[in-house]
């Protein structure tokens, strides 16, 4: 197990596998940070039910853009340009959850409740990781992601409590996004995640992180009064 702390100046002496994995993980993270606002800003921002909601959507998008900027700076410091993800069409995003569009408030709320929560799990992998610059940018990013998750969770509960018709729409959104959230963790039989762990770039396997997510989120879904979707049906990665 690799236990050293690595700075950009150290990468020339590192095994090429380390740089390849680091490049992959920061590129995907940058794509995820910019992918969210690309999904919802166009339709959700102008349709916000209240001025407060509109402000919170704008703030969420602004914070996600800043997260991208921080990740891009870390990547740039070791010679990797991730700016191409800024102009990518949604259909080309690395993760299925960031392809398509979000044009209903039920989908936007559940996206924050579930997908931003997976984002928090992804970022937590870098706590104490071997690449020091990545660790250093985490505190503010994770603090803001927790805020996004909290807003999504409260908005999901609010919409689910508005009556049967609204609850049915929220349940339909939950059914769509739950399996996408589980797939974001990747394949349970991935060999790459073992290499991430070996090099100190991740703490958990895909399966371990996914199971922790399920244990956290399923009781929250039930507390809101919604049905936990089937964790297998519609999945791409088991």
- Give the domain ranges of the chain: 14-224
**CATH topology (fold) of 14-224:** Ferritin (1.20.1260)
Note the pLDDT of residue 101: 84
Average pLDDT over residues 155-168: 97
- Average model confidence (pLDDT) across the chain: 96
∠ CA 161-162-166, nearest 5°, is 100
Give the DSSP H/E element, type plus range, for residue 166: helix 164-183
DSSP 74-106: HHHHTT---GGGGS--GGG-SSGGGSS---SHH
The string of pLDDT tens digits covering residues 87-145 is: 999 999 999 999 988 999 999 999 999 999 999 999 999 999 999 999 999 999 999 99
pTM of the model: 0.96
DSSP class of 164: H
Mean pLDDT of 174-183: 97
């Amino acid at each position: 197990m690799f236990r050293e702390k690595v700075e950009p100046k150290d990468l020339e002496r590192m095994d090429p596998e380390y740089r390849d994995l680091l490049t992959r993980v920061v590129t995907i993270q940058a794509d995820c940070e910019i992918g969210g606002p690309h999904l919802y800003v166009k339709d959700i921002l102008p349709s916000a039910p209240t001025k407060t909601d509109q402000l919170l959507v704008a703030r969420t998008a602004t914070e996600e853009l800043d997260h991208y900027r921080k990740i891009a700076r870390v990547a740039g410091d070791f010679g990797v340009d991730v700016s191409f993800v800024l102009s990518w069409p949604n259909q080309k995003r690395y993760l299925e959850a960031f392809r398509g569009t979000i044009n209903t408030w039920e989908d936007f709320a559940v996206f924050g409740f579930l997908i931003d929560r997976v984002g928090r799990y992804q970022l937590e992998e870098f706590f104490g990781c071997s690449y020091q610059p990545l660790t250093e940018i985490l505190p503010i990013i994770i603090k803001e992601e927790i805020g996004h998750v909290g807003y999504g969770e409260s908005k999901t509960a609010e919409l689910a409590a508005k009556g049967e018709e609204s609850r049915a729409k929220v349940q339909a959104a939950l059914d769509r996004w739950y399996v996408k959230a589980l797939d974001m963790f990747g394949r349970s039989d991935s060999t790459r995640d073992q290499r991430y762990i070996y090099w100190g770039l991740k703490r958990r396997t895909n399966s371990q992180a996914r199971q922790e997510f399920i244990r956290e989120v399923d009781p929250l879904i039930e507390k809101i009064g919604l049905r936990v979707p089937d964790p297998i049906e519609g999945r791409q990665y088991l």
